[in-house]
Amino acid sequence: MNLLDRYIGQSVITGVATVLTIFIILYELFAFAGEASKIGHADYTFWSALQYSLLCIPQHIYELFPLSMLLGTMLGLGWLANHNELVIIRLAGVSLLGIIGSIMKTAIMLMLIAMVIGEGIAPPLQQYATEQRIKLLKSQVNLNTDYGLWARDGNTYVNVDRVDNIGQLIGITLYQFTKDNFIERQIHARHAVYDGEQWILKSVKETTHKNNLFIVNHKTEMKWKTLLDLDTVKIVAVRPELLSIWKLNGYIDYLKNNDLEYTKYELVYWTKLFGPLTILAMVLLSIPFVFGSVRHISIGKQVLLGFLVGITFYIVSRLTGQMGLVYGIPAILSALLPNLLVIALTTWSYRKIR
């Protein structure tokens, strides 16, 4: 990396770091405000809420990184443009492609750092933060989400295969033990729904051990009162966005092998896989804002315009994903289409500045 690469890269890094810091501070203030209402419940204290908010920072950095790259690159290059440094660089014989190359070297380095944070650091921290939050909010319930959902309610142990995105339990098994630690009753249900006060088990098979005999009963539904309420379930329900790419891949295989719905997870998988492309496309899109027809407006207006572009991309990507789920569009196409639109817009913008 030569002197020009380092100089331009330093400006881009400073801009990205500035934007990302502002975003994270605002994001965490709102996140902590949301946790404040739970302070005082069970063992959940001010410091517990603060710890939870801080442990979520890597995940928020990863989520905000594409928009931060767009605005940060614009801000860094805008500083250089306002001091006529980009003009001097061009007069020194450096082509636009040369400047773009210097920017992309820094962008690739930042992208790799973001991938390490998003796929290696954020998921385990997020899982740990969620588990600690649950233990403090529901101290009577012991949870372990490594192998499905496990909970203990008195002398009853509960295992749930998975929790869907609306908080419905799929594949529930209840084990009730005697004081001598012998199983006296086992209940298995295909799924369970929450009616506002208690769980309703559906398609129930009840096995009771009595006098050395096993008595089996089948029921259409059964009421189940437990400390594991809907709020608890929604907290521990796995959001696909919080899983790493390799865990998503394994979970998708599991869903396919068990003939379960997997399209939502597949969409997130491809969106994450195309994440580097999204970041690089955002960086390329930021350059025409500095060299193109809007280069004479203030940095503030440039950043505002870039923010609107970034928000538009976010909305379009969400709409495309949801439409893909509704109309059965392949997940890879739904995830790739917003990136193709950004690349097309970027190509058109570059033609305007040549």
| Integer CA distances (angstroms), 320 to 242, 245, 247, 348, in order | 20, 20, 24, 22
The verdict on 173 and 82 lying in the same domain is: no
β partners of residue 206: 187, 217
Write down which residue in 207, 236, 265 finishes a domain: 236
Average pLDDT along the chain: 83
pLDDT at 353: 64
- pLDDT > 50? residue 294: no
The verdict on 126 and 176 lying in the same domain is: no
pLDDT at 150: 76
The verdict on 11 and 132 lying in the same domain is: yes
Q: What is the per-residue pLDDT across 226-279, written as a single tens digit (0 to 9) for each?
A: 777 776 676 556 677 777 888 888 878 867 776 667 888 888 899 889 888 888
Helix axes 57-82, 3-36, angle to 10 degrees: 140
Greatest alpha-carbon span in the chain: 95
Q: Identify whether 265 is part of a domain.
A: no
Q: Identify whether 329 is part of a domain.
A: yes
Q: What is the per-residue pLDDT across 117-139, written as a single tens digit (0 to 9) for each?
A: 998 999 889 888 887 887 787 65
Which of these, 77, 59, 58, lies nearest to 15 by C-alpha position?
A: 77
Which of these, 203, 283, 315, lies nearest to 8 by C-alpha position?
A: 283
Count up the domains in the chain and report the number: 2
The verdict on 48 and 171 lying in the same domain is: no
Structure tokens at 167: 């908080």
The verdict on 29 and 123 lying in the same domain is: yes
Percentages (nearest 5) of helix, strand, coil residues in the chain: 65, 15, 20
- pLDDT > 90? residue 187: yes
pLDDT at 189: 93
Domain containing 187 equals 149-236
